[in-house]
Structure 1
Amino acid sequence: MSLRALLISSSLTLLLAACASTSQPAAVESAGFYRVKPGDTLFRIAQNNRVSVANLVRWNNLKDPSSINAGQLLRVSPPAGATQASGKPGRQPPGRPASKPAASEPSKPAPKPVASIKLAWPVKGPVIAKFNGQGSKGIDIAGDAGATIRAAASGKVTYSGKGIRSYGNLLIIQHDNAHLTVYAHNQSLLVKEGQTVKTGDAIATMGNSGANRVKLHFELRVRAAAVDPMPYLAD
């Protein structure tokens, strides 16, 4: 074979190989992962995939379980060698095939958010740190260890645990599809994930978990964004 023929043959071989490699479909999301959709909450994703919120926080190294974004890819099954933390929803009964996540079902229209929200003080005490949107995404309220912390508004508990060290024992309550409140550094947690609470219900006791002093770190999130809760708190 002449040198020219050899070069042409080699070029055609490389071209065909390149076409073959580019003709393969792009990699799709593998089993065990979920792409966050608008309106999703971590609690709803946990329910649909029959895992606990604590596990989702741990498997995805989430620094803030109250803030997930549409398009974000989350691991919803344990990585190799990982153990599952206890928490609701419960395990799938043995011998029964796992149900498909509700994400595969026709989505229901989300309820319209309320224009604003009124909050009751979760605990009485002096405000020792104010909201600045950066280092402090809420306010800190001083008080006595063991003092009762109450729900600032009615809603559903979407997180109850200690998966984020800097927040200590943490509670998150979803009030509607736009508003949620965050309660951090608690001594003990009195409610569980999935539980419905009303304004003023006892939800935790004040402590210093994840903090250098006894205090409640309280946040208000509007569509996942932290806002100053002070204008919403009733006098």
Structure 2
Amino acid sequence: MWLISRKERLLTTGLVVLLLIGDLAGCSAPVRAPVVSREQPSSQPQRSSRPTVYRVQKGDTLYSIAWRFGIDYRSVASWNGIRSPYIIYPGQRLRLTRPVQKRVAKSATVKTPQTKGAATKKKPVVSVKQVSQSAKKKVSSSQSKGKIVNNSSELRWLWPTDGTVVQRFVKGDPVKKGVKIKGRYGASVKAAETGKVVYAGSGLIGYGRLVIIKHNKNYLSAYGHNKKIHVKEGDTVKKGRRIAEMGNDGNGKPMLHFEIRRNGAPVDPLKLLPRRP
């Protein structure tokens, strides 16, 4: 009996030793951490701020579409072959990027030698009267161009409402494209300069009830967060005329969002508005 129990002990001890060796071997085996590539794409896709093509929605105008994507309305019209008065319709697809111009290979021109008997072409004789007329045309065209530039610089802006500026313009900031003027709910919102109403509605996200006025071919102004609009598209308004009533912003505070854009790009309204006493 003693021999049997001794053998059993030896067998048990041997099994224990084998199990310990196996555990030690398993512990000594290196465990590699998973390798994560730094070149993995971001979880958030990179979205373009401006689509290549836009489908016109009900209530859109060429000016409101250009305003939404920060483009000069003349560029949108040119890219899509739309002439003044820039009429568009729901469902129409508008290109919002410059079309790629196809390069046409120039054909080689072969000069043919002139024969001796060929008649030589005489240069046209220009009279002094024609020269004076062409000179007048050049002068008039240059004057008209200068007049357009002067018109752009001769705009005399007016404060669109009474109140306190609580947010200023920041160049390049998509949220601070204009100024926010805190005032009284229902206060009069006036046209900052004479012009034509090219948009009146609530189709642009973030602006509430919005009015856009075209002052000339370069400058437009916008008035957002209105309680009520008193003008319609196509109206010609004089500087100082009431065009809307001040409403509340997204936080429930009486506020006017005011912007001025030149050639489609936002500019600082405080640099154009007169200084307050």
Whether 1:191 and 2:231 are equivalent positions in the alignment is yes
State which of 163, 167, 180 in structure 2 corresponds to 1:129. 167
State, as a whole percentage, how many aligned pairs show the same letter: 36
Higher relative contact order (CA 8 A, sep 6+): 1
Code of the aligned partner of 2:224:
A
Q: What secondary structure, in the 3-state scheme, does the structure 1 residue paired with 2:181 have? A: strand
Aligned match of 1:55: 60
State which of 179, 192, 200 in structure 2 corresponds to 1:160. 200
- The structural deviation recorded for 1:205 is 0.2
Between the aligned partners of 2:79 and 2:225, the Cα distance in structure 1 is 27
- The structural deviation recorded for 1:72 is 4.3
TM-score by length of 2: 0.49
- The structural deviation recorded for 1:183 is 0.4
- The structural deviation recorded for 1:197 is 0.6
- The structural deviation recorded for 1:211 is 5.5
C-alpha contact (below 8 Å) 2:198/2:234 kept by paired residues: yes
Between the aligned partners of 1:53 and 1:221, the Cα distance in structure 2 is 24
Aligned match of 1:222: 262
The structure number with the bigger radius of gyration is 2
- The structural deviation recorded for 1:165 is 2.3
* Structure 2: runs of 5+ lacking an equivalent: 1-52, 93-143
Q: What secondary structure, in the 3-state scheme, does the structure 2 residue paired with 1:230 have? A: helix
Q: Bigger shift: 163-172 or 113-122?
A: 113-122
- The structural deviation recorded for 1:124 is 1.1
Over the aligned positions, Cα root-mean-square deviation in angstroms equals 3.4
C-alpha contact (below 8 Å) 1:166/1:211 kept by paired residues: no
C-alpha contact (below 8 Å) 1:187/1:207 kept by paired residues: yes
C-alpha contact (below 8 Å) 1:187/1:209 kept by paired residues: no
Q: Name the count of aligned residue pairs.
A: 157
* Structure 1: runs of 5+ lacking an equivalent: 1-34, 36-50, 81-108
Code of the aligned partner of 1:154:
T
Deviation per CA, 1:13-51, whole angstroms, max 9, x where unpaired? xxxxxxxxxxxxxxxxxxxxxx9xxxxxxxxxxxxxxx9
Query: Are residues 223 and 209 of structure 1, via their aligned partners in 2, closer, same or farther at CA, if it must alter by over 3 Å?
Result: same
- The structural deviation recorded for 1:224 is 1.0
Code of the aligned partner of 2:157:
L
Whether 1:76 and 2:114 are equivalent positions in the alignment is no
- The structural deviation recorded for 1:52 is 9.6
Query: Are residues 121 and 132 of structure 1, via their aligned partners in 2, closer, same or farther at CA, if it must alter by over 3 Å?
Result: same
**Superposed counterparts of 1:53-132, under 5 Å:** 54-56=59-61, 63-64=68-69, 67-68=72-73, 69-70=75-76, 72-73=79-80, 76-79=88-91, 112-113=148-149, 114-116=151-153, 117-132=155-170
- More helix as a share of residues: 2
Deviation per CA, 1:103-139, whole angstroms, max 9, x where unpaired? xxxxxx9982424222110001110000002121110
TM-score by length of 1: 0.58
